[in-house]
Structure 1
Amino acid sequence: MYSRGSVIPMFVKQLESGQPLTLTEPHMTRFLMSLDQSVDLVYHAFLNAAPGDLFVRKAPASTVHTLALAVASLLGYDEPEVRVIGVRHGEKMHETLLSREEMVTAEDQGGYFRVPLDARSMQYELYFDEGDTKTARLDDYTSENAERLTVEQTRELLLTLPEFEALKVGAA
């Protein structure tokens, strides 16, 4: 969640230099997952996977605006100036972790989805008369329709990151 390419270091740099926080689109959503949660996902997959399985953690999401406000709050900026710069070329409004086609075969394992390998044959004549009606009733699993975090919940998640641990004393 906090890497060299993420927006968090950019927000920190902007706040510390007195610049406004720049957001491409405030309603844009992203999944949030700590390093510990990522390790838990790998461990869960290790214990439960069959060859070819895909595992997705049911991660919460946040708008970019909520994330910016949470970072600012942790650094002591209660009402930061925000400047919207617009969506960049090729940038998606929401992340998609599973398509509706994958959701049809996904097994709900509590905090995770397991999508087994699709090993069906390519003999399309077997499916000529009958389609799959379940697909039409499902949605993709995206950061738009996942659990949405509040500013306070985003703050709490950020405080689990080593980069923000020093701020825990001030956040209490």
Structure 2
Amino acid sequence: MDLTAKSLLITGGTGSLGKALTKQILESSPKIKRLVIFSRDEQKQFQMAQEFPASQYPGVRYFIGDIRDYERLKRALKGIDYVIHAAAMKHVPIAEYNPMECVKTNILGAENLINACLETEVERVVALSTDKAAAPVNLYGATKLASDKLFVAANNITGWNPIKFSVVRYGNVMGSNGSVIPFFLKKRKEGVLPITEPTMTRFNISLQSGVDMVMHALEHAWGGEILVPKIPSYRILDVAEAIGPDCEKPVIGIRPGEKIHEEMITASDSFYTYDLGKYYAILPSTHKWKLGEYVEHFKAEKVDMGFRYNSGENTEWETVESLRKLIKEHVDPNFREV
């Protein structure tokens, strides 16, 4: 996707995905008109500016701000064409302990962004979701479900404005900040890998695949879809075996708000879900475009009633060996089996 003549803003732009998106965008469109990294962490912005200096990338801007601050957000969006919304409070236990902080960022922040985009000249918005937003059992998942609903419904209040809002939903990003693989890599030095629940499974996606999906949605989404990738699952015990086969693996129990298996599409979503090939799309119940034209354009096929996409019932699985290969490729180039 050529963004040379475009201006793009990434909320939460200093996070793992934001940095990966920035890297890809600058490689594919080095003369992008403007790329705004919007976040509230000045230290991370300072560090990112060393990696992507303005002298080398004159289109890059670093904008301190919080999505809770509507006026600051609206100012940052002046002259912006595209928005990727990656800002969120995402740590499950922290959200359980600080519920209103999570609500303010993930729900009220989403509302601020939607309103600010409608008041400026933004053309497309892609918001990042999570598997925890499907049938949520924790506050983080509940706030992201509410956020998803807000972005989908925003297409109904655009009026004359041609802006399109869409959502991408995927599972654990391999190697992202706070995820299990970096945690296990650190803990194996102590010889102990704590297991929350031996039967636990999770979806797995590489950072690059996450970036590719966001860019695909930015270019191709019609507005209102929740796009879901077809990705493999892993068993937590296989991750532990891949990283520390000789480590102790005590079972410590699940953390507050955790599921044994994650879900990205529920049986209740199946009525609106279509298979697009590489992705599934949960379509909105009301939309501006014609369903028949959407189905024809994407060669979409309706999934069976009652279909659900669950990490524990997946048909594609990572193995111990494939996990070791992926860790070396995507997380730690120096990784060696102990």
Q: Same fold (TM over 0.5)?
A: yes
2:180 aligned partner: 7
Structure 2 residue identity aligned to 1:160: E
2:227 aligned partner: 55
Asked whether 1:87 is paired with 2:259, we answer no
Specify the SS of the correspondent of 1:114.
strand
Structure 2 residue identity aligned to 1:41: M
2:239 aligned partner: 67
Give how far 1:94 is off: 0.8
Q: CA separation in 1, counterparts of 2:273 and 2:329?
A: 29
1:126 aligned partner: none
1:157 aligned partner: 326
Counterpart contact for 1:70–1:151, Cα < 8 Å: yes
Counterpart contact for 2:274–2:303, Cα < 8 Å: no
Structure 2 residue identity aligned to 1:157: L
1:148 aligned partner: 317
Q: How many residues align structurally?
A: 149
Q: CA separation in 1, counterparts of 2:179 and 2:223?
A: 32
Structure 2 residue identity aligned to 1:2: G
Give how far 1:51 is off: 0.9
Counterpart contact for 1:26–1:84, Cα < 8 Å: yes
Greater than 4 Å deviation, 4+ residue runs: 134-137
Give how far 1:47 is off: 3.2
Give percent identity, aligned residues only.
36
Q: CA separation in 2, counterparts of 1:67 and 1:8?
A: 7
Instruction: Assess, with a 3 A threshold, how the Cα gap between structure 1 residues 136 and 116 changes in structure 2: closer, same or farther.
Output: closer
The gaps in structure 1 that reach 5 residues or longer are 73-77, 121-133
Specify the SS of the correspondent of 2:187.
helix
**Using CA pairs below 8 Å that are at least 6 residues apart, which structure has the higher relative contact order?**
1
Counterpart contact for 1:34–1:160, Cα < 8 Å: no
1:35 aligned partner: 207
Query: What is the aligned counterpart of 1:119 among 286, 297, 316?
Result: 286
Specify the SS of the correspondent of 2:332.
helix
2:274 aligned partner: 107
Q: CA separation in 1, counterparts of 2:322 and 2:207?
A: 17
Q: CA separation in 1, counterparts of 2:304 and 2:222?
A: 27
Q: CA separation in 1, counterparts of 2:326 and 2:270?
A: 27
Give how far 1:136 is off: 8.9
Superposition RMSD in Å: 2.3
Q: CA separation in 1, counterparts of 2:303 and 2:228?
A: 19
Specify the SS of the correspondent of 1:2.
coil
The gaps in structure 2 that reach 5 residues or longer are 1-173, 288-301
Instruction: Assess, with a 3 A threshold, how the Cα gap between structure 1 residues 160 and 135 changes in structure 2: closer, same or farther.
Output: closer
Q: CA separation in 2, counterparts of 1:153 and 1:62?
A: 10
Specify the SS of the correspondent of 2:234.
strand
Q: Which deviates further from its counterpart, 91-100 or 41-50?
A: 41-50
TM-score after normalising by structure 1: 0.76
1:138 aligned partner: 306
Per-residue CA distance 1:103-132 (angstroms, 9 max, x = gap): 232221222101222118xxxxxxxxxxxx
TM-score after normalising by structure 2: 0.41
Q: CA separation in 2, counterparts of 1:157 and 1:103?
A: 31
